[in-house]
Structure 1
Amino acid sequence: MKINGEVTTGLGKAAYFLSQEFYSLEFERNLGFVPFPGTLNVVVSDDYLDEINEIKNNCQNLIKPDEGFGAVKYIPAKLCDEINGAIVFPAKTTHEENYLEFIAENKLRDQMNLKDGDIVSLEF
């Protein structure tokens, strides 16, 4: 599945969670990289929600939490046909359903010179 979405600023909470050792070690073990402590937030059209929810609900990739933290489902994905990473679905989130959170090894806003409102593609 390949979809386009708009880059937007998140709440800043992902940096704390992705800096937790048990999350970063599991992502490294399962995806081959330690994620930058933050996500690239992409808002997608509501037209994609049924397909995204089906993928999320059927996803078997799960990082079980340490005490006090939530589980995270993830699916490998590619940003703009060039950056390997993953879309994460935290069990505890305050985002709307049409917000996708993409993780990668580097700070993508800097690496790709992205700003709010830019359109990017996600393939998963």
Structure 2
Amino acid sequence: MKIEGEVKTGLGKGSFFMSQEFYSNEFRKNLGFVPYPGTLNVVVSDEYLDEINEIKDNCQNIIKPDEGFGAVKYIEAVLNDEVKGAIVFPAKTVHDVNYLEFIAEIALRDELGIEDGDIVSLEF
């Protein structure tokens, strides 16, 4: 599945969670990289929500949390046909359902020059 969405600034909480050792260790073990501390928030059209929710509901890739943290489901994905990473689905989130959070080992905004309002593609 390949979709497009608009980049939006989040609340900054992704950097805290991605810097937690148990999350980063699990991502390294399962995806082969330690995520840059933060997520790229991509807002997608409502037309994709049924498929995305089905993928999320059936996803078997789960990081079990340490005490006080929530579980995270994830699926491997590629941003703009060039950056391998993953879309994460935190059990605890404040985002609307049409926000996807993409992680990679690089600082995406800095290294790719991505800004709020840019349209990016995600393939998973």
Which TM-score band applies after superposition, normalised by the shorter structure? over 0.9
- For the aligned residue pairs, the C-alpha RMSD in angstroms reads 0.3
- Spell out the pairing of 1:90-109 with structure 2 (5 A cutoff): 90-109=90-109
Cα offsets for 1:5-36 (capped at 9, x unmatched): 00000010011111000000000000000000
Q: Which residue is 1:29 aligned to?
A: 29
Aligned residues with identical type, % of pairs: 77
**CA–CA distance in structure 1, aligned partners of residues 14 and 103 of structure 2:** 10
Write the letter of the residue equivalent to 1:72: V
Partner in structure 2 of residue 77 of structure 1: 77
Distance in structure 1 (CA, Å) of the matches to 2:68 and 2:103: 22
Q: Counterparts of 2:4 and 2:14 in 1: how far apart (Å)?
A: 22
What is the aligned residue count? 124
Counterparts of 1:25 and 1:63 in 2: how far apart (Å)? 10
The 5 Å alignment of 1:13-24 reads 13-24=13-24
* Cα drift, residue 66 of structure 1: 0.1
Gaps of 5+ in 1: none
Deviation at 1:121, TM superposition (A): 0.2
- Equivalent-residue separation in structure 2 for 1:82 and 1:15 (angstroms): 22
- Structure 1 residue 37: deviation in Å? 0.4
Provide the rounded CA distance (Å) in 1 between the counterparts of 2:67 and 2:88: 19
